[in-house]
Structure 1
Amino acid sequence: MTQAVNPDHDALNTLKLLGPAPDNWVPDREGVDHNVLIVGAGQTGAAFAFALRRAGIGRVSVIDAAQDESKAGVWLTRARMNKLRTPKSLVGPETGLPGLSFQAWYEARFGSESYATIDRIPRTRWAEYLAWFRHFLDIAIRYGTRLTRIEPVDGLFRVHLEVSDGKKVRQVVETARKVILANGVAGNGGAYVPAVLKHLPAAFHAHTSSEIDFAALRGKSVAVLGGAASAFDAAATALEAGAGEVHLFVRRATLPSVPITRTRAYPGAYDNYFQLPDAIRWAQARRFRRSGSTPPVDAVERATSFANFHLHLGAQWSEARIANGAIEASVAGERLTFDFAIAGTGYFIDPAARPELADFASHISLWRDQYVPPVDETDDYLGAHPYLGAALEYLEKSAGDAPYLRDIHVYNPAGFVSFGLPVGDVPSMRRDIPAVVQRISRDLFLADLDAHVTRMNGDVPADFDAALYANRLWQGDRADVT
């Protein structure tokens, strides 16, 4: 009889070979609830929690505003792609431990032949893997907990939280020495809705970041604004839900089809990107902006396979109003009518727009504060991004005004200009999670240096005494000499 193999065998063996996690070496401080508070329990929040555990850093807490695990992150809520947009081979939350990787998890359940047949990771399988990762590694997450304010006080942060049990909401104040903002695409700003839509009644439009009731669009005429992946994903989801027709409007004359970020997707450029001069990092960000975000081929094909899908190029909306219970839009000289509109128009960056950052947003150094580009390379959108330090920490606009900013690490797409990738996505994990954890470890160690020096100079009991070797001590030639 063949003995059953535990599908988690590789993962269990990985943990066995790693050995137990180190004990917490960070000295307790009176009045401190958390050494590190991680905001967001998606793919990176859990990865940070595990990495900090392996670094011997205790009193780490992960919070998420979602009421339960099924609503946390984007993969089962607002993400609508069939497959992830990144190669399946990239290092993810496992950060260098193959037995905890997606490939190991997938092959243990579906076989290596099945893994070989997929070109990119199916979105729902990725969600399953992340759930397994959290549970297998016993990552404790406090759901229904929303961060509303970070208040710097006496060398630490008072973090103001709204805690909900689904029925009642209570206000809680806790303290933390370090904060990691692993809070997604809107973590340093919000969803960008064009002014032409923003003034319309909420019942007539939504952003792709919203939980849209696509079933309610069955038989309806739907407009989607935007030409990147999220716009095509929303269009296809509406069509698959039975929308009568979907029109997608792109401002550019052609779809962006050149994924220019691939030119720097090699270890030298990737690992050392932060070391590049500001002028080069700015030029790379500008190049991406000019080229545009390229939707995957399968995302375009998913929408264009429907006969009732219509693509409008060079078509920016100039006006929209409600007439006879529908949206009447003026687009490139045409008047078109729709029942509903979806903005797949990305996100804006503005730390001051986030209530949790309001206490110190004016002190955060932005790219426009640190770098003055040539006149023909100005870009207000890029200039609004925070100018981050080597461990993705906020920096002060004026030295000495807000030194506590170095204790807030920004692990969301606001790091794009500084680090060259949509920080928080899979490609950024291998490089940036270890960098943040190492910096947190260094800072916490040096902050309690006196205690650590005392510990390192402490008495150590002997493993043995002289009796262990007394019977083999050389006595010399003791024979009497006459």
Structure 2
Amino acid sequence: MAAPYHPGVLPAAQYPDRIDTMTELSHPDQHALDTLRLIGPAPDNWVPPRDGIDHNVAIIGGGQTGAAFAFALRRAGIGQVSVIDAAPDESQAGVWLNRARMNRLRTPKTLVGPEAGLPGLSFQAWYEARFGAASYAEIDRIPRTRWAEYLAWYRHFLDIPIRYGTRLTRIEPVGEHFRLHLEVREGASVRGVVETARKIVLSNGVAGNGGPNLPAVLKDLPPALFAHTSQAIDFAALRGKSVAVIGAAASAFDAAATALEAGAEQVHLFARRERIASVPVTRTRAYPGAYDNYFQLPDAIRWSQARRLREAGSTPPADAVERVTRFPNFHLHLGAPWTQAAVRDKRVETRVAGEPFAFDFVIAGTGYVVNPALRPELAEFAAHIRLWRDQYVPNAADSDEALGSHPYLGAGLEYLEKVEGAAPYLKHIHVYNPAAFVSFGLPVGDVPSMKRDIPAVVQRISRDLFLADLDAHEARFNDDIAADFDDSIYARSVWQREGVDVDIA
């Protein structure tokens, strides 16, 4: 569980460049405190308890979106919400201080994030309270480490409990609820635990409906000689080494830059395309009408937009490219896919475009594959999940096996059944990770998706929980209610007619 946030406990050493005076604010978090005061207390839990149910909602993943969901559900009056995270503790949870290697976030600083539309809880309010409005105006995008600090503050300030060291290993459907099979780490030991939940939110990151996309050419290499960007990498150990990076999206450039900054002797980045993708095609639909109503688009349009992005390629930010090109020992290979790799004398040897190379270490910045069947916790029912290839058949020229493996989701980002009636419980699992891309047009789970999709999921959860207990709610509607007052408070003012009735028509 996250430790309670104590207003005022903000060591100066934690913010060495913070503004020197707080005369404008009685407390650095005064705006946030006023926000919570003005919106009033969270509603009481209105969901009737059920025998044998531990959680109304289980949120899988305690990163930025897991915490945001917990707060949004609290404000919706939905109690018995549990957030779990497999990381052993808060410092190792999420990507921002672990596997993320960019200097700045890739999204604009002005996007609405986990604050749920409450300005006092926003990154801007948090940042300006510590470093001043002028400092905020100077940054064009949010520094990654500042974002991590803000998220830690958000969790503690709002007292979001997260159970670390808790891994979901299996979701077992049981009628209208689920058994969650968990591995709970306690010190050096791990014990198995089974808990129950009515709703599940998969807020579990980029691999949450699949896994890392590892090129076949690397799969037989010894683990000591290569890594995917999703893994922890000891970059300090690459000092003085020759490093290959495969891929040309942002994570590949970030990994290459981190290796160079750690003192790698040579870094070669190999891209399949003849040019680095530089056209952010999704920007053409980055306006409220398209953003808010994207789910309502016909399948053919949603498919074509996903295909358009696949064809254009994922665009690394310009500063990510400039971060590596300033190094004379960085070398970019275009139109250079790897087709072979072997190990000799503890080095990886390859031949690209007829030219031989040998490297001490290889990093795959090759993204992720979406395939629910790859996830052990989903394996029991993955075959019942409706995928895009089950729903929509494009013409041959527009076919795409990778996009076809994405789940075809409902309006509340819930799984749908491949065959109606075969797995009705699927509608109670909500997918808040990038597997929702084809259905919702964004890399769901990142900041751009929060404003639209967190409320959509919470509203669907609220609706489903309410209707599932409709008899109990109807009985509550018809409960006897004590009167606020009796006749005595108005008895003296009741008109008393004297004599005959007067016709006032």
On whether the aligned pair clears a TM of 0.5, the verdict is yes
How far apart are the structure 2 equivalents of 1:95 and 1:227?
A: 34
Instruction: Kindly indicate whether residue 476 of structure 2 is the aligned counterpart of residue 429 of structure 1.
Output: no
Match of 2:417 in 1: 396
* Aligned residue runs from structure 1 range 290-305, under 5 A: 290-305=311-326
How far apart are the structure 2 equivalents of 1:50 and 1:2?
A: 30
Q: Aligned match of 2:278 in 257, 262, 271?
A: 257
Identity %: 75
How far apart are the structure 2 equivalents of 1:83 and 1:4?
A: 28
Q: Aligned match of 1:126 in 128, 142, 147?
A: 147
Match of 1:34 in 2: 55
Q: Offset at 1:25?
A: 0.2
Instruction: Kindly indicate whether residue 227 of structure 2 is the aligned counterpart of residue 206 of structure 1.
Output: yes
The secondary structure found in structure 2 opposite 1:17 is: helix
Equivalenced residues, count = 479
Contact 2:338 2:352 (C-alpha < 8 Å) held by counterparts: yes
How far apart are the structure 2 equivalents of 1:400 and 1:381?
A: 27
Instruction: Kindly indicate whether residue 480 of structure 2 is the aligned counterpart of residue 465 of structure 1.
Output: no
Q: Offset at 1:437?
A: 0.2
Match of 2:338 in 1: 317
TM-score, length basis structure 1: 0.98
Match of 2:459 in 1: 438
Contact 1:67 1:166 (C-alpha < 8 Å) held by counterparts: no
Match of 1:327 in 2: 348
Match of 2:177 in 1: 156
* Aligned residue runs from structure 1 range 33-432, under 5 A: 33-432=54-453
Opposite residue 426 of structure 2, the aligned amino acid is L
Alpha-carbon deviations, 1:111-150, whole Å to 9, x = none?
A: 1000000000000000000000000000000000000000
Opposite residue 345 of structure 1, the aligned amino acid is T
How far apart are the structure 2 equivalents of 1:399 and 1:167?
A: 45
How far apart are the structure 2 equivalents of 1:114 and 1:132?
A: 19
Q: Offset at 1:245?
A: 0.7
Match of 2:10 in 1: none
How far apart are the structure 1 equivalents of 2:265 and 2:198?
A: 53
How far apart are the structure 2 equivalents of 1:229 and 1:204?
A: 22
Q: Offset at 1:19?
A: 0.4
Contact 1:182 1:411 (C-alpha < 8 Å) held by counterparts: yes
How far apart are the structure 2 equivalents of 1:80 and 1:478?
A: 92
Q: Offset at 1:476?
A: 2.9
How far apart are the structure 2 equivalents of 1:376 and 1:206?
A: 34
How far apart are the structure 2 equivalents of 1:330 and 1:195?
A: 15
The secondary structure found in structure 1 opposite 2:77 is: coil
Q: Offset at 1:478?
A: 6.9
Contact 1:231 1:344 (C-alpha < 8 Å) held by counterparts: yes
The secondary structure found in structure 2 opposite 1:52 is: helix
Alpha-carbon deviations, 1:156-206, whole Å to 9, x = none?
A: 100000000231000000000000000000000000110111110000000
Q: Offset at 1:477?
A: 3.9
Contact 2:166 2:182 (C-alpha < 8 Å) held by counterparts: yes
Contact 2:388 2:405 (C-alpha < 8 Å) held by counterparts: yes
Unaligned runs of 5+ residues in structure 1 are: none
Contact 2:175 2:425 (C-alpha < 8 Å) held by counterparts: no
Distance 1:437 1:4, change over 3 A: closer
Opposite residue 178 of structure 1, the aligned amino acid is K
Distance 1:409 1:233, change over 3 A: same
Opposite residue 276 of structure 2, the aligned amino acid is L
How far apart are the structure 2 equivalents of 1:179 and 1:412?
A: 13
Contact 1:158 1:176 (C-alpha < 8 Å) held by counterparts: yes
Distance 1:458 1:302, change over 3 A: same
How far apart are the structure 1 equivalents of 2:175 and 2:346?
A: 56
Distance 1:470 1:277, change over 3 A: same
Match of 1:451 in 2: 472
